[in-house]
Amino acid sequence: ISFRNNEIDFAYNDYASLLKEYYLDKKPLGHIIKQVVFNNTPIKLLPMVHCPRNETELLVTNIQNIIKNDNKLTKVIDLCAGSGCIGISLKNNINKISLSLLEIDDNSIESIMNNLILNKIQANIYQEDYFDFIKSSNEKFDVIVINPPYVAKKELDSTMTKYENAISFNNSEDEMLFYIEFFNHYQRIINFDHFLIGLEFGYDQKDKINDLIKENNLSKYATFYKDYSNHDRFVIIYKN
């Protein structure tokens, strides 16, 4: 097993342990080797920090292509940033943007700081509650990306939360709460004349997300995307 230029030499017992962790314990590979490559960007992971998923790269790639071709989209915030993979990889691939990241979890904040140093990137870090931020911040952004906790509590199981913090999957009795509050307050933090919003959501949540978009008269700006399993998983709302 190799990771970029660093080789990991496993003895048989180590290899057997790795296979057990991956196949039987369902430990994310990123946590086994403590790092991933996300959108051509190395991302280190501390224990219990949410491991980036391949599907999320689909959202980021589409956002990235739009930003590259629109010089007005320069000020970016990654909400519920986790390891920082979304925002940091965008900045790593598009130097023109100024980056901010918001996260409340201590381990995730440490991971973000490690990954900023690793990739030689400067950014503003907000360690505060998501709901407080969107309700009270006076900053305006051109691009908002959010991949919040959206898994229903009934779908959580011990294999999901054994190696990743439960709040990265669900942090509310209502799995839609992060989206509802976002659309209630997004105009406070967006440059409304020209903006991009990128959202990831659950495989069965498109209709509810679409209702929120319609209620805010944003339907003509919205494009939905599917993941590798052909589930509706992302939406980009782009007003140019």
pLDDT in tens, 182-212: 999 999 999 999 999 999 999 899 999 999 9
Does residue 201 contact residue 147 with C-beta atoms inside 8 Å?
no
Does residue 84 contact residue 127 with C-beta atoms inside 8 Å?
no
The amino acid that residue 121 corresponds to is I
Sign of CA dihedral 183, 185, 187, 189: negative
Taking CA atoms, 179 is separated from 147, 202, 206, in Å, by 10, 11, 12
* pLDDT exceeds cutoff 60 at 51: yes
- Distance, CA of 73 to CA of 154 (rounded, Å): 38
* pLDDT exceeds cutoff 90 at 173: no
Residue in the structure block whose two tokens are 């911040």? 137
- How many Cα atoms occupy the beta-carbon half-sphere of 237 within 13 Å? 25
Tokens of 239: 């007003």
Provide the β-strand partners of residue 75: 98
> What does the CA dihedral 132, 164, 84, 117 come to, rounded to 10 degrees?
120
Confidence (pLDDT) at 32: 73
Angle at CA 125, nearest 5°, toward 120 and 128? 155
pLDDT averaged over every residue in the chain? 87
Confidence (pLDDT) at 191: 96
pLDDT confidence bin for 179, thresholds 50/70/90: very high
Pairing of strands 98-103, 75-79: parallel
- How many Cα atoms occupy the beta-carbon half-sphere of 43 within 13 Å? 31
What's this model's pTM, rounded to 2 decimal places?
0.86
